[in-house]
A and B are shown apart, each in its own frame.
Chain A
Amino acid sequence: GIQVEQSPPDLILQEGANSTLRCNFSDSVNNLQWFHQNPWGQLINLFYIPSGTKQNGRLSATTVATERYSLLYISSSQTTDSGVYFCAVEGYSGGGADGLTFGKGTHLIIQP
């Protein structure tokens, strides 16, 4: 099956700093989503981005499908940005009927 690798596994930054999280995947995808998991476990959907670039406030994401990677940018980090960020993909052969394969996540800590 498709493989998903996220880096870095852990990231500690000061408030106000910018960060870049990376997701590499091993095959073509129908679906790529970025999530932030809050302390209660709920997955907050940040972006649906199988290709291209999107922005939402301080967050933006870019997926280069031909090179099989995606980047999540967080600017002017706040302590509330702390948590685990997951990248998840569905391989192209799934046609929308397959579940997502998750990376291991990046654990982000923003210090005041």
Chain B
Amino acid sequence: GAVVSQHPSWVICKSGTSVKIECRSLDFQATTMFWYRQFPKQSLMLMATSNEGSKATYEQGVEKDKFLINHASLTLSTLTVTSAHPEDSSFYICSARDPWGANYEQYFGPGTRLTVT
């Protein structure tokens, strides 16, 4: 089956620093990947859609200058949290769809837990 990986699994950083999270599709090429955020005991919220070779599309209320997304290849999208603050601490999960797959199913990575101190 389709596999999506994320790196790192968890990261602790100091306030004001930047953190990069990678999302890779391991056995398929993904023209589109999605980034979600989940706060403790809450549901997942779509942050942005990452399109290979073009600019990402951000959901309303998500700061594009804070959450930089780069989708430079068909198997890799990166999310950079710039100038992180404690309120950015959250669980970040990516997903991807196989554009040549038989349906619209999305495959999710294992997530990255970010703690900003």
Contact = CB atoms under 8 A, between A and B. Distances in A.
B34 A41 contact: no
B12 interface: no
Contact of B110 (A35, A42, A88, A100): A42
**Size range of the interface on A?**
20 to 34
A82 to B, nearest CB: 15
Interface residues of B, number: 25
Interface string B45-59: 110010000000001
A31 B45 contact: no
B63 to A, nearest CB: 17
Contacts of B43: 86, 102-105
Interface string A37-50: 00011110100101
Interface string A97-112: 1111111110000000
Contact of B34 (A30, A45, A99): A99
B49 A96 contact: no
Interface string B66-83: 000000000000000000
